[in-house]
Amino acid sequence: MASKVHITVLYFAQIREATKIKRETFELSPNVSLRDLIKIIHTRHPELSNVKNFKTSVNYQLLNPDTILRDEDEVAFLPPISGG
């Protein structure tokens, strides 16, 4: 079993503007949930508190925040979508 999991996080639209980066990689302990990762990202990027209603996907799927992340997962922070 791996001692660490490596997660790539992608940021889009106003989330990218807030963080000022397109992507970053996290090295995390095993059994970290998507919810845990979101908390870590908010700690690292407190400016995200101004971005509301964003979605997160794991490997192109919208999943429950309690989903356990696996090594090499790709998490995307997606802005709210509006239309008319």
3-state SS of the chain? CCCCEEEEEEECHHHHHHHCCCEEEEEECCCCEHHHHHHHHHHHCHHHHHCCCCEEEECCEECCCCCECCCCCEEEEECCCCCC
Domain count, the chain: 1
pLDDT score for 33: 97
pTM: 0.88
Look up the CATH number of the domain holding residue 64.
3.10.20.30
Q: Which domain holds residue 60?
A: 5-78
pLDDT at 2 over 80: no
| Structure confidence by residue, pLDDT tens digits, 21-71 | 999 999 999 999 999 999 999 999 999 888 878 889 999 999 999 999 999
Q: Is residue 17 part of a domain?
A: yes
Between the alpha carbon of residue 61 and those of residues 55, 70, 79, the distances in Å are 10, 14, 15
Identify the pLDDT of residue 1.
54
